[in-house]
Amino acid sequence: MIGPGLRDKVMELYSQQYGINDKLKKIDRRLKTLGEHLQYTDSYLEHRAIHHQYKQQKPNRKAAFYEAHRAELTLYEAAKKYLTGAERAQGSPAKGMESGTQKIDYRAAGPVRRILPAER
């Protein structure tokens, strides 16, 4: 038989656990989004020089240059489109990444104990 004080404490701990899980899900989604931003930003920066060279080509040589560098230019254009869309949707991805550097106090969640398979 469980006493009323113990039952209340267990229910409180379960409630805290669900709250922490919700916070972790939000953080995981944010990390995934920031990972995509970083991936596209890297692609944009990596292929920006090729795009610049393409823009400087004379009109009669642009098609040949594009064919020779189709993959790089396609990656650049996709990254630019993604970053422009992300900026319109939620502000600058770079600003989001800066605000994502805020410190997370994991100690506020309380002690975490990993349950080993033998303890289950």
**Confidence (pLDDT) at 1:** 57
CA distance 17 to 81: 40
pLDDT digits (tens, 9 = 90+) for 44-82: 999 999 999 999 999 999 999 999 999 999 999 999 999
Q: Which pTM does this prediction carry?
A: 0.59
- In this model, does residue 4 exceed pLDDT 90? no
CA distance 49 to 31: 28
CA distance 76 to 45: 8
Share of the chain above pLDDT 70, in %: 72
pLDDT digits (tens, 9 = 90+) for 87-99: 777 665 555 444 4
Confidence tier at 114 by pLDDT (50, 70, 90): very low
Residue ranges of the domains in the chain?
A: 4-88
pLDDT digits (tens, 9 = 90+) for 19-49: 899 999 999 999 998 999 999 999 999 999 9
**Confidence (pLDDT) at 29:** 92
Contacts 24+ apart (CB under 8 A), 96-100: 96/33, 96/34, 96/37, 97/34, 97/37, 97/38, 100/30, 100/34
Question: Are the beta carbons of 47 and 75 closer than 8 angstroms?
Answer: yes
CA-closest candidate to residue 41, choices 33, 67, 89? 33
